Homo-oligomer: A and B are copies of this chain.
Amino acid sequence: MQRTQFGDMYCSIARTMHIAGEPWSLLIVRNAMVGTTRFEDHQRMLGISRKVLTERLNWLVEHGIFERRQYSERPPRDDYVLTDKGQELADILFAISAWGDRWTAGEAGPPALFRHRTCGELTHAEIRCAHCGEPLHSQDVEVTAGPGADPATLAG
């Protein structure tokens, strides 16, 4: 992996990109979100090489996004199932999709529609403040160093 530099940064965005920012990885998580669990199905949906898919799945298992569950002993075959960490990563995909639908879909409209079973309606994701519930816009947020900031920054 070439992303180690990002994993070492004092930044939760960089660290997330390190684990899951490679586009194929996010698309594997996307597939999992719609129920895909098997290597062959991921490969067919993505049209990537077995080698790349194997690397990506191993990486995502290693970083706790998927866990393997054996469904066949002979030959040995595993389902790849999202962990809790992976499920929460999948949730971010809705925020990414909402932006992509708004800014890249054009007149053709969104490639995918999302129905929220909780309310039954077609919907999209909104990013909201965990405290007040209002939309969280970057213009309205003040960013300061946290306890896990770069010690060099904190000392500065």
Contacts and interface: CB of A to CB of B under 8 A. Distances in A.
Contacts of A141: 33, 94, 114-117
Interface of A: 3, 6, 10-19, 21, 23, 26-27, 30, 33-34, 64, 82, 85, 87-106, 108-119, 121-150
Q: How many copies does the complex hold?
A: 2
Most buried by B among A21, A30, A118: A118
A29 to B, nearest CB: 9
Contacts of A147: 108-110
Given A13-B30, A88-B102, A141-B94, A136 B129 contact: no
The secondary-structure label for the interface of chain A is mixed
A114 B93 contact: no
A136 to B, nearest CB: 5
A6 B108 CA distance: 17
Contact of A6 (B16, B23, B144): B23
Nearest to A106: B148
B87 A92 contact: no
B140 A116 contact: yes
A82 B138 CA distance: 11
Contact of A127 (B11, B95, B142): B95
A12 B125 CA distance: 13
